[in-house]
Structure 1
Amino acid sequence: MSRHILIASKDKRIGELAKEAVQSLDYNVVVAADLSLALYLTNKNMPDLVVTDEDLINGSGFDLLSELGTDDELGVIPILFIGKNGSDGQRALDLGAKKVIANPKTIDELFLELMPHLKLDEKAPKQRPEYSPE
């Protein structure tokens, strides 16, 4: 079974952090910088989790929350919102975000925020494996 996470952000660093954070957990991470693409990919892939921030091309993370929240099928997908300040966070929660997280600086920070929201097999690691170059 393929599992998906959608990262909706213009910030390429967020997508790179997410891919690195969950690479060992058998999740496919897809990144969309554009609101229209994020909505298309959500409809197509029905991801297990969406992570967004405010900055999207042709829209915002708030628009994404609004659109997904009004759809009966897509509205059940948990959405984590990466907030830059308190008012962004409250607005995101009001629009249906499951959780607001501070802008992660490291892979470990993002991993810790994502873990409680991922569907994991019993054998999956409870902490991010250490990087070991081959």
Structure 2
Amino acid sequence: MSQRVLVVEDEPNIVESLSFLMKQEGFDVSVANDGATALRLVETEMPDLVVLDVMLPRRDGYDVCRAIRANRRLDGVRIMMLSAKGRELDRRKGIELGADDYVTKPFSTRELVGRVRSLLGLAD
């Protein structure tokens, strides 16, 4: 059974790129374009990994991360935050809220795939 990845991003070009990359790696991919939809999909689909943009409509990525980590039923869900906000303060905030990784845009697709595989416990 393939692992499930939820891509949470409001920029269509990035959604398309991330979805393609994740599908190419054999993951089952779902997409949410805002924070509220993301939380609903996390609850119903129970993805193995959420690739979560920080700046989103309807609930930002920090709020979504906080909500996921507050729900014990979702303890197994890994979170990779993705953001144009590259300051150490922003990164630290994401990690302190419970993100497993924090990647800044622009990102290397090869590095991103490697980090996703690592978070999911898959050997390269």
Q: Fold match, TM over 0.5?
A: yes
Task: Give the drift of 1:2.
Answer: 4.3
Task: Give the drift of 1:76.
Answer: 2.6
Checking the alignment, whether the CA contact within 8 Å between 1:18 and 1:29 is kept in structure 2 is no
Q: What is the identity, as a one-letter code, of the residue corresponding to 1:112?
A: G
Deviations 1:30-85 (A, max 9, x none): 11111111011101110010011211111100010110010001133110111322
2:55 — aligned with what?
55
From the superposition, tell whether residues 21 and 4 of structure 1 become closer, same or farther in structure 2 (CA, over 3 Å).
same
Checking the alignment, whether the CA contact within 8 Å between 1:4 and 1:28 is kept in structure 2 is yes
2:3 — aligned with what?
3
Runs of 4+ off more than 6 Å:
none
For residues 44 and 79 of structure 1, the distance between their equivalents in structure 2, rounded to whole angstroms, comes to 16
Please point out which of 89, 107, 110 is paired with 1:108: 110
Q: What is the identity, as a one-letter code, of the residue corresponding to 1:50?
A: V
For residues 116 and 29 of structure 1, the distance between their equivalents in structure 2, rounded to whole angstroms, comes to 17
- Does 2:99 match 1:97? yes
Q: What is the identity, as a one-letter code, of the residue corresponding to 2:120?
A: L
Q: What is the identity, as a one-letter code, of the residue corresponding to 1:100?
A: Y
Q: What is the identity, as a one-letter code, of the residue corresponding to 2:18?
A: A
Larger Rg, first or second structure (1 or 2): 1
Q: CA RMSD in A?
A: 1.9
Identity over aligned residues, as a percent? 28
For residues 68 and 54 of structure 2, the distance between their equivalents in structure 1, rounded to whole angstroms, comes to 15
Q: Secondary structure at the match of 1:56?
A: coil
- Structure 2 gap ranges (5+): none
Q: Secondary structure at the match of 1:76?
A: coil
Checking the alignment, whether the CA contact within 8 Å between 2:48 and 2:76 is kept in structure 1 is no
Checking the alignment, whether the CA contact within 8 Å between 2:7 and 2:19 is kept in structure 1 is no
Aligned residue pair count: 122
Task: Give the drift of 1:11.
Answer: 2.0
- Structure 1 gap ranges (5+): 127-134
TM-score by length of 1: 0.80
For residues 64 and 53 of structure 2, the distance between their equivalents in structure 1, rounded to whole angstroms, comes to 10
Q: Secondary structure at the match of 2:39?
A: helix
